[in-house]
Amino acid sequence: MSEITLTPRAAKRINEIMGDEPPGSLLRISVNGGGCSGFSYAFDIARDRQDQDIAIERDGATVIVDPVSVQYMAGSTIDFVNDLIGQSFKIENPLATASCGCGTSFSL
């Protein structure tokens, strides 16, 4: 399975966000059914890590992804962008055949 990577910008922003959270908190990214393109990404602060979770680490930042979501995100790059429409995490997913304009949902 292809690796999921974090960009330096994403790692920096995750570290900033997690600095305000209780110790041991982690950013969880998951893929859920629904959204305008079929699947959607969810970003949550997790206070627990499951044994099956996959950890993606860079520059002190850690993201966890459950094993089902990893299948839909294989080979993805998680970035953080600051552009005219605002700041957000952006996932560049090579498995996605289409995505919505806001970048939070995709189809396979």
Mean pLDDT by 10 residues, the chain (108 residues): 90 95 94 78 92 95 96 94 86 80 58
- Spell out a b/e string for 35-70, using b for 16 or more CB atoms within 10 Å of the CB, else e: bebbbbbebeebeeeeeebeebebeebbbbbeeebb
pLDDT at site 86: 82
pLDDT at site 95: 87
Do the Cβ atoms of 51 and 64 come closer than 8 Å? no
pLDDT at site 101: 56
Task: Report the 10 Å Cβ neighbour count for 84.
Answer: 4
pLDDT at site 103: 56
Q: Are strands 105-107 and 98-99 parallel, antiparallel or unpaired?
A: antiparallel
Do the Cβ atoms of 79 and 89 come closer than 8 Å? yes
